[in-house]
Chain A
Amino acid sequence: MTTKIYIPRDAAALALGADKVAKAMEEAVVARGLDVAIVRNGSRGLHWLEPLVEVETPEGRVAYGPVKARDVVSLIDAGLVSGGDHALCLGKTEDIPFLKQQTRLTFERCGVIDPLSLDDYRSHGGLRGLANAIAMEPMSIVTQVTESGLRGRGGAGFPTGIKWKTVLEAAGERKYIVCNADEGDSGTFADRMIMEGDPFVLIEGMAIAGIATGATKGFIYTRSEYPHAIATMAQAIEIARRAGVLGPSVLGSGRAFDMEVRTGAGAYVCGEETALLNSLEGKRGIVRAKPPLPAHKGLFDCPTVINNVISLASVPIIMDKGAAFYRDFGMGRSRGTIPIQIAGNVKHGGLFETAFGLALGEIIDHIGGGTASGRPVKAVQVGGPLGAYFPRALFDTPFDYEAFAARDGLIGHAGIVVFDDTADMLKQARFAMEFCAIESCGKCTPCRIGSTRGVEVADKIAAGIEPEKNRELLSDLCNTMKFGSLCALGGFTPYPVVSAMTHFPDDFKPAPVAEAAE
């Protein structure tokens, strides 16, 4: 019987040498005449163990990692093909604590299946949600999504079902489903992992959205920085089209839905939904004033559902197992699961999907294992470049939209970047302003000008020039940006700046050198 060996094709694994490992494995099995098939799967999300090689055994999959090309021969010698022991052997994959502690709903198949095998997808529960949706009235689908409690995973946390209902009820000959895959936040990679590891779940989610709202065309707008995700998504769409999952009659239902992938061009602001729509239309990625809402006048002025990748990829399981199944996970108004991305200076970085409600400290210290450098954690930034910096004193905050908001933070797209005690929080605050200045679309003054002035003021503080006055000025500037900006770029840049000032005031004190000069 052919033994399957899994070597990921996820970009993180590739960046750590997975292709070289696959090549070495190929050569080794051929040289020894072993009956082996190499499957290039997505990543399990245990990124400190990448490339993570798995072998299928009668007892389940056995994992080895991190594997380098030079380890391959010794792994084969140790009997890898039958799950043999080796210094790199991690035991059964599903027993690795980082995986075992997770609740994988959206990422159920990611890293498990061959991402481009529709048969694999089907045999692991895929397309059941879409089949159920086709048998339902559009309003019933929308109700089921609403009742699941699913909220926008891009960061805004707006109820997905309500958005869909607005589009369903909007009058229009033509409607669109737009998937926001412009995952530009540092510390996030969940969208990328799904697109590379389980692209059909996103296709299925978008098809369900189309059937539910009467939209017949979908776009995935993703980033030029994600070439592997683009290639995998484009191939998956082609496969889905050939199999009748997409096209003039979705799964033989007589209802049409098709989609394509579009690539951005390096503008962070295009992750803002209205800037994204302009970019899709072939315009500058300038933010639009709301109203009108995209649900009423979105892409090409047509009613448009615009959802994040993870929101859409969570829909199939809701349509498969029901609203109550999904809603039963989580806390408060944050229902279901959230794929937390643990990144930066952390020992066990990767993707951890779990029900809402886990304490931040639990995620950093226990699941993430503390810093990679071994030094104390100074701060964590949650929610990307527009998210607040939290000190250890706030590590009891549960991972929940409202709990973070109550502490002047946000969970955003659920990325966490860990910093050790060498981090200079004034420098981080300055960077937040600098990033906003580089990426501002330029439409509104608080963002366009405020960010540039913010960099200058931060520089003055660093140079010890009238520090007290300039700290006050920086706070005031943040206030103007927060309340005067058109979108979250200018509006949320104050989060990292103000949180850094509030929680790490010592870093904003003038340099002692300046004092000595007087």
Chain B
Amino acid sequence: MNIHQPRGDVSGRTLAIIEELKGLEGPLLPIFHEIQHEFGYVPQDCLPVIARELNLSRAEVYGVFSFYHDFREHPAGRHVLKLCRAEACQSMGGDQLAERAKHLLGIDFHETTPDGAVTLEPVYCLGLCSCAPSAMFDGEVHARVDAGDLDALVAEARR
């Protein structure tokens, strides 16, 4: 994953996304997903544009944006490592794995390494509970992750 820095005009590209999706029933979440896909996060400059186009208040639009864990206010690192923190993974040593990840990266959950390489995020269930513990690295799923697997993922992210 690359850091997406908004190039050129954020509101122009936001308008294009809104134009494409506003015919949907309940278009706001699809619009946020598409904006995050486009920019890597949801630049706050988009919010008034969305509000105007969908005839909502800015407070409503911000309220929806801030409710959902997925939507980022700031860009993530070049790589995103999500570790499952839910019960099935806990039963197979997920907590120790999380501690190891934090230690290796020198950051806590919801943080990005100072070099911008990796963002560490918790996830509550990837649906791989029969082969726990599990992780998602840049959208790819990994199951039965042990310390060695984790070290390899972190090394790959650091490269």
Contact = CB atoms under 8 A, between A and B. Distances in A.
Contacts of B29: 262-265, 279-280, 282
Contacts of B131: 12, 15-16, 47-48, 50, 349
Given A12-B143, A341-B129, A381-B87, 6 more contacts: A12-B127, A16-B131, A188-B127, A189-B128, A345-B92, A418-B91
B17 interface: no
B156 to A, nearest CB: 15
Contacts of B92: 344-345, 372
Contact of A431 (B63, B64, B87): B87
Contact of B129 (A188, A262, A265, A372): A188
A53 to B, nearest CB: 16
**Which of the listed residues B30, B90, B131, B142 has the most CB atoms from chain A within 10 Å of its own CB?**
B131
Considering the complex of A and B, which 4 residue pairs feature the smallest CB-CB distances, nearest first? A349-B130, A282-B28, A186-B86, A265-B68
A325 interface: no
Nearest to A263: B33
Contact of B144 (A16, A228, A286): A16
A226 B130 contact: no
Given A282-B64, A284-B67, A192 B127 contact: yes
Given A47-B131, A184-B125, A423 B91 contact: yes
- Interface range for A: 35 or more
Contacts of B64: 282-284
27 contacts: A11-B128, A14-B140, A16-B131, A16-B143, A186-B87, A186-B124, A223-B127, A263-B29, A264-B68, A265-B32, A265-B69, A267-B69, A280-B29, A282-B54, A282-B64, A283-B28, A344-B88, A345-B91, A345-B92, A349-B129, A350-B130, A372-B92, A385-B87, A418-B91, A419-B91, A431-B87, A441-B67
A49 to B, nearest CB: 10
B117 interface: no
Nearest to B130: A349
Contacts of A47: 130-131
A186 B88 contact: yes
A267 B123 CA distance: 10
B91 A344 contact: yes
